[in-house]
């Protein structure tokens, strides 16, 4: 870790000396990668965490989604590792998609070093992973189950690990991975640096933090439970049987470039996809019944802009980093208030704006109240102009300003119509 950094040839990297990321203490070769990624200023969590991680201290970071958390730990770790050597940094992720994403981030940020990063996740064969590990890697980004399999088969050895990153720990809890995480941490050397990140830190995982961290520096960016700051979000009350019709109308009206639609159930994701296709909207699905290959293809196609609508369940919702999602639509109100925050956090990432629309039917009132209590503010109710609403008690509960009578709708429509940006382009 303490190798002296080769100095750039005269003039070669001079401009980087003034770069805000250089001022945080990162090595030149890491700052070059940051510049190549187009980052000009560190985000809050980066400004706070990078110098501390560089010092080798433990960190507990509670940050909102999309705040640049990955770079906050990856950049200083890469800077400290410096040159290719042994397997020294382990990153644990709750889902395969996240593991894939964080691996790519490590590879991008270490492109001017000779460090090697391996992705160890389930759902794919062992052969290539074993080959990679045998060749020698510096960083391993893994999901817990597959990592333990490799450890049991002795195809990986934890003895040289210096840094352990536990990412999205609350999601690990949700998915039942905490016992595996604990087993893995126990297998790593006692003398290590531990970086612990979680968008929320419920009391259940506080014990894990206390157990795994030594005198941690706490990085707390923004309110722990508030949704991503830049997202406009609102509810569309509608009778359940009209949800599909309303969704189609919304998609027809929105000038979207990329829409991530969430459904609670895998089956509904498929049903909604088929119905949208019948209405000339090409949509692909992402959920745990799809093979790893199908999930990867769906994600890549969406990221590349091959198609504009991806329909996902919550497994996929957490932590997906797809730049430029213009709209998130909740086809169902999430049953878990935290999931609402994570879902809408898929848009509005890295300080850009995004819109989140939630279709809300009368049977989902409890969930809406739970979300409003969780984020500590009421969600705006919105109706769509010229949509023939069937009767639902929800429409009567609004503050009635302007009575509108139309077709099948015998109720009143509140005056508040369409504040959502209908002309949002992919950023
Ligand atoms: P994360 O919260 O780590 O998932 O990052 C969210 C997105 O922000 C990713 O697309 C990053 O590439 C991007 N990002 C991270 N740091 C910065 C930065 N300092 N400036 C601009 N974009 C950033």
Is 199 in contact with 339 (CB distance < 8 Å)?
no
Among residues 54, 57, 51, 117, which one has the least CA distance to residue 84? 117
- pLDDT mean over 309-329: 75
| Averaged pLDDT of the chain | 83
Index of the ligand 1 atom closest to the CA of residue 321: 4
For position 396, what pLDDT does the model report? Answer: 66
176: left (phi > 0), else alpha (psi -120 to 50), else beta? left
Q: How far is the CA of 98 from the centre of ligand 1 (A)?
A: 14
- pLDDT mean over 175-191: 94
Residue 68 lies in a domain: yes
236: left (phi > 0), else alpha (psi -120 to 50), else beta? beta
Q: Which residue has the higher pLDDT, 229 or 338?
A: 338
Phi, psi of 29 (to 5 degrees): -65, -25
Tell me: do 63 and 87 sit in the same domain.
yes
Is 190 in contact with 211 (CB distance < 8 Å)?
no
Length, in residues, of the chain: 427
Residue nearest atom 4 in ligand 1 by C-alpha distance: 66
For position 323, what pLDDT does the model report? Answer: 62
Q: How far is the CA of 425 from the centre of ligand 1 (A)?
A: 19
For position 274, what pLDDT does the model report? Answer: 95
For position 199, what pLDDT does the model report? Answer: 76
Tell me: do 215 and 253 sit in the same domain.
no
Q: Does the structure show a pLDDT above 90 at 234?
A: no
Residue nearest atom 6 in ligand 1 by C-alpha distance: 66
Among residues 233, 171, 181, which one has the least CA distance to residue 201? 171
Q: How far is the CA of 105 from the centre of ligand 1 (A)?
A: 10
> Cα separation of 168 and 320, whole Å?
12
Tell me: do 157 and 194 sit in the same domain.
yes
Question: Which string of b and e fits 25-47 if b means at least 16 CB within 10 Å?
Answer: ebbbbbbbbbbeeebeebbbbbb
pLDDT band at 410 (very low <50, low <70, confident <90, very high): very low
CA 32 to chain centre: 25
Domain boundaries, position 40: 12-221
pLDDT in tens, 384-406: 888 989 877 777 655 333 333 23
For position 221, what pLDDT does the model report? Answer: 66
Angle between helices 178-187 and 144-152 in degrees, nearest 10:
40
Tell me: do 209 and 271 sit in the same domain.
no
Tell me: do 121 and 241 sit in the same domain.
no
pLDDT in tens, 345-384: 666 554 455 688 999 999 999 999 998 888 878 888 988 8
pLDDT band at 94 (very low <50, low <70, confident <90, very high): very high
Q: Does the structure show a pLDDT above 70 at 314?
A: yes
Residue nearest atom 16 in ligand 1 by C-alpha distance: 68
For residue 130, the domain's CATH number is 3.40.50.300
Q: How far is the CA of 67 from the centre of ligand 1 (A)?
A: 6
pLDDT in tens, 207-228: 899 999 999 999 876 444 445 4
Angle between helices 365-375 and 337-344 in degrees, nearest 10:
70
Q: Does the structure show a pLDDT above 90 at 153?
A: yes
Q: Does the structure show a pLDDT above 70 at 415?
A: no
Q: Which of 200, 221, 242 is the last residue of a domain?
A: 221
CA 17 to chain centre: 32
Tell me: do 238 and 197 sit in the same domain.
no
């Amino acid at each position: 870790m303490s190798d002296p950094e080769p100095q750039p040839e005269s003039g070669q990297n001079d401009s980087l000396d003034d770069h805000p990321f250089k001022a945080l203490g990162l090595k030149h070769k890491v700052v070059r990668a940051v510049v190549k990624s187009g980052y000009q200023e560190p985000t809050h969590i980066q400004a706070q965490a990078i110098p501390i991680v560089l010092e080798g201290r433990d960190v507990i970071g509670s940050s909102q989604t999309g705040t640049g958390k990955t770079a906050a730990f990856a950049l200083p770790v890469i800077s400290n590792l410096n040159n290719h050597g042994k397997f020294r940094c382990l990153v644990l992720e709750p889902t395969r998609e996240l593991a894939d994403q964080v691996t790519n981030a490590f590879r991008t940020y270490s492109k001017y070093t000779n460090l090697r990063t391996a992705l160890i996740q389930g759902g794919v064969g062992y052969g290539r992973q074993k080959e990679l590990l045998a060749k020698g890697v510096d960083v391993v980004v893994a999901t817990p189950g597959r990592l333990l399999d490799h450890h049991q088969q002795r195809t990986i050895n934890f003895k040289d690990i210096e840094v352990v990153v536990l990412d999205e720990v609350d999601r690990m809890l949700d998915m039942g991975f905490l016992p595996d995480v604990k087993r893995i941490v126990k297998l790593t050397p006692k003398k290590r640096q531990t970086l612990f990140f979680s968008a929320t830190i419920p009391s259940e995982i506080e014990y894990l933090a206390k157990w795994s961290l030594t005198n941690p520096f706490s990085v707390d960016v923004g309110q722990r439970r508030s949704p991503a700051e830049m997202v406009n979000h609102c509810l569309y009350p509608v009778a359940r049987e009209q949800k599909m019709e309303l969704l189609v109308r919304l998609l027809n009206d929105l000038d979207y470039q990329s829409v991530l639609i969430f459904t609670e159930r895998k089956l509904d994701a498929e049903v909604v996809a088929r119905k949208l296709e019948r209405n000339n909207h090409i949509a692909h699905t992402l959920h745990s019944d799809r093979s790893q290959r199908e999930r990867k293809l769906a994600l890549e196609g969406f990221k590349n802009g091959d198609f504009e609508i991806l329909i996902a369940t919550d497994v996929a919702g957490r932590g997906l980093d797809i730049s430029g999602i213009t709209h998130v639509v909740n086809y169902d109100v999430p049953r878990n208030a935290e999931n609402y925050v994570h879902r809408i956090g898929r848009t509005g990432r890295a300080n850009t704006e995004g819109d989140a629309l939630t279709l809300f039917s009368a049977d989902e009132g409890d969930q809406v109240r739970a979300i409003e209590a969780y984020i500590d503010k009421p969600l705006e109710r919105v109706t769509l102009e010229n949509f023939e609403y069937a009767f639902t008690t929800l429409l009567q509960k609004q503050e009635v300003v302007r009575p509108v009578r139309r077709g099948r709708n015998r109720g009143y429509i509140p005056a508040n119509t369409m504040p959502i940006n209908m002309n949002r382009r992919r950023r």
